[in-house]
Amino acid sequence: MRITSATALLVLLLGGCAAVPPVPPVVGAPVRSANWTLQGRIGVQNDEQKLSGQIHWQHREDRDDLLMTSPLGQGVARIVRDAGGVTLEVPNQPTRHAHDVDTLTREVLGYVLPVSGLVWWVQARPAPGSAFEATRDAAGRLAQLRQNGWTIDYLQYADDAPSRPRKLVVAREGLEIRLVADSWQNE
């Protein structure tokens, strides 16, 4: 059975995004912690539907754990990436397993999403190993990043951590993901 809802799209796009260790994108750029927790809100809009909810994303160099909830706090989905692969749990569906996130998105959605880039993009950094174009604001922070066919617009940075994005939009033809980071902790 294929899960084709925006919920699966949202969960798979965010979950298990890091398969490579952090590398600074620019010489002299601050190195982000390999371990962090992000809590926030997310909205996904594709050609067919809109979905919004909350995320709790705990990222470790060797593991990601992402819990998606509805706006009312009900669990919608959970993704875990570790050395054994990627697991997706969605209510009333069998648990799905795959070797990597790209395989899981291809199996569940029928196409691959940019999951390997998102862990970098939420940190205002281009994913290593791929060409990119960047536009910077007056403070030298990323204002827009284009990589692998995706455009990432950085709409606002955190007041307490000026290099940490607070609001961003990740878009490609037919899909737009809006993320607001309400809380971010380096661990």
Phi first, then psi, for residue 171 (nearest 5°) are -140, 150
The predicted structure's pLDDT at residue 28: 36
**CA distance between the termini of the chain:** 38
* CATH architecture for residues 6-24+34-182: Clam (2.50)
With a CB cutoff of 8 Å and minimum separation 6, the contacts of 140 are none
Q: Are 83 and 100 in contact (CB under 8 A)?
A: no
Q: What type of residue sits at position 158?
A: A
Q: Give the 3-state secondary structure of residue 121.
A: helix
For the chain, which residues score pLDDT lower than 70?
1-33, 109-113, 115
pLDDT at 178: 93
pLDDT at 109: 60
3 state DSSP class of 71? coil
Q: How far is residue 16 from each of residues 89, 114, 137, 173, measured CA to CA in Å?
A: 13, 11, 30, 23
Closest CA to 164 of 141, 137, 187, 144: 141
Could you tell me which of 84, 51, 86 has the C-alpha nearest to residue 65? 86
CA dihedral of 148, 157, 136, 20, whole degrees rounded to 10: -40
Confidence at residue 24, expressed as pLDDT on a 0 to 100 scale: 37
In the chain, where the domains are located:
6-24+34-182
The amino acid sitting at 174 is G
